[in-house]
Structure 1
């Protein structure tokens, strides 16, 4: 399982609307091939900074299949207008789970 972590920066004054837009986009992730979960975390220390965490079977399910889909276009249409900076995306793989 691969975890995508996308760091998203928005105007803090628009946080409630942004969070609602991400919730509205959830079905586009849920129906995406290879997607196994999605969550949004607000960074406490930095208003307007969020981490979107998405679980994918493989990196290709995110970078190829999802990115070339209508689901991705719908996600960006909903959430993209809130971004004040380009998202920063990394992929991780669990190498140990200790408790």
Structure 2
């Protein structure tokens, strides 16, 4: 069963273009991670709304214990976390009902 990672990314107003440029730099860091399957980051449709991150992993452990414990994640954080008003909350979802 694959795991879907869901996070709302509260990017500070006015920094959207720089955030999206940083995402382009950060994307290869996650794409080479064991268990990684896909990544989508959606722009908000309204002002002041968060971006939506959806990543698919073979398992929750591939994300939580693999990527998030890696040096690649530390670089991901360095590139992206300065844009957040607050640290995003990550949730995981499993099989389709």
What TM-score, normalized by structure 2, do the two folds share?
A: 0.91
Q: Does 1:79 align with 2:54?
A: no
Higher strand share: 1
Greater Cα shift, 65-74 or 87-96: 87-96
Show structure 1 runs of 4+ deviating over 2 A: 45-48
Partner secondary structure for residue 67 of structure 1: helix
Q: Structure 1 regions of 5+ residues with no counterpart?
A: none
Greater Cα shift, 18-27 or 86-95: 86-95
Q: Structure 2 regions of 5+ residues with no counterpart?
A: none
Partner secondary structure for residue 80 of structure 1: helix
How many pairs align? 96
CA RMSD of aligned residues (A): 1.2
Q: Does 1:69 align with 2:70?
A: yes
Question: Is residue 35–residue 59 contact of structure 2 (8 Å, CA) maintained in 1?
Answer: yes
Q: Does 1:44 align with 2:45?
A: yes
* Offset, 1:10: 1.4
Question: Is residue 12–residue 48 contact of structure 1 (8 Å, CA) maintained in 2?
Answer: no
What is the aligned partner in structure 1 of residue 58 from structure 2?
A: 57
What TM-score, normalized by structure 1, do the two folds share?
A: 0.89
Question: Is residue 9–residue 50 contact of structure 2 (8 Å, CA) maintained in 1?
Answer: yes
* Offset, 1:47: 2.9
Question: Is residue 11–residue 48 contact of structure 1 (8 Å, CA) maintained in 2?
Answer: no
